Amino acid sequence: MAVAGCHVMAKPGGAICNIDCTYCFYLEKEALYPERNKNWRMSDETLEQFIRQHIAAQSGDRIDFAWQGGEPTMMGLPFFRRVVALCEKYGDGRKITHALQTNGILVNDEWARFFAEQHFLIGLSIDGPASLHNHYRLNRAGKGTHEQVVAAMARLKAHHVDFNTLTVVGKHNVGHAADVYEFLLAAGSRFIQFIPLVERMSTDNSSVLNLVMPGESAAKLAPWTVPSWQYGEFLN
């Protein structure tokens, strides 16, 4: 049965990422599927089935795809060119849109041109100025990623790519609302999203995961968590 406006978020590379954010709840999920560590990419067969079935399930004239991770650009440009080709194959003339959330590390001019040509809406993760962003958003060597993200934003703007910014609000930046907001405006972000950082850490030494779901009783709040009142003050 076809439905109108069904929104599905695909993670074609699973939890695989090229940076190592301290607060990331998803990165450690790869420990749940050790057999996928050497075969983490969505296969072409699965991709084609997903696109065909998602389009067929929609009753309206517009179909939305959202791509996330991990880091979806690690799939490479050929993967997303294949995405576009399959959407053209099965789209039957309907309007198809794509949104992609990225940390920006791999976004070079070639990526930016592709996003512009195919009208991708890009979400760029950035937690404010360098002193705040680099507190938790680190590369695999433990170094800050801010400079690379700002460079990615500049490329998106240069190629006239529609983008928004996504800022995680945690203990590192919740007390610096004006600094975060003014930085994002000065950097060129005109569509700004905030997400409060609320995570729980397992107190069970036998747990496979460090960050656990709300239903787990053997847990405590992560040190970077922000209470609701503090997040409210940040937004005010």
pLDDT tens digit sequence for 99-142:
999 999 999 999 999 999 999 999 999 999 999 999 999 999 99
The one-letter amino acid at 197: L
- What does each C-alpha distance from 179 to 166, 182, 226, 234 come to in angstroms? 15, 5, 18, 11
Bond before 60 cis per omega within 30 degrees:
no
Q: Cα(185)–Cα(80) distance, rounded to whole angstroms? A: 30
The single-letter code of the amino acid at 108 is: N
8-235 has which CATH code? 3.20.20.70
| Distance of alpha carbon 73 from alpha carbon 100, whole angstroms | 9
Residues 6+ positions from 35 with CB-CB distance below 8 Å? none
What are the residue boundaries of the structural domains of the chain, listed by start?
8-235
Question: Residues of 40-68 as b/e, b for ≥16 C-beta within 10 angstroms?
Answer: bbeeeeebbebbeebbeebeeeebbbbbb
pLDDT of residue 147: 98
Give the pLDDT of residue 1.
57
Query: Going residue by residue through the chain (236 aa), what tens digit of pLDDT does each one get?
Result: 566 677 889 999 998 999 999 999 887 777 777 776 678 899 999 999 999 999 999 988 999 999 999 999 999 999 999 999 999 999 999 999 999 999 999 999 999 999 999 999 999 999 999 999 999 999 999 999 999 999 999 999 999 999 999 999 999 999 999 999 999 999 999 999 999 999 988 898 777 778 877 777 788 999 999 999 999 999 99
pTM of the model: 0.91
Distance CA 98, CA 63 (A): 9
- Dihedral over alpha carbons 74, 146, 191, 123 (to 10 degrees): 10
Q: What is the pLDDT of residue 209?
A: 74
Residue 197 confidence (pLDDT): 96
pLDDT at 198: 93
The pLDDT, as a whole number, for residue 122 is: 99
Find out whether 223 and 167 touch, Cβ atoms under 8 Å.
no
CA torsion angle for 214, 220, 224, 228 (degrees, to 10)? 60
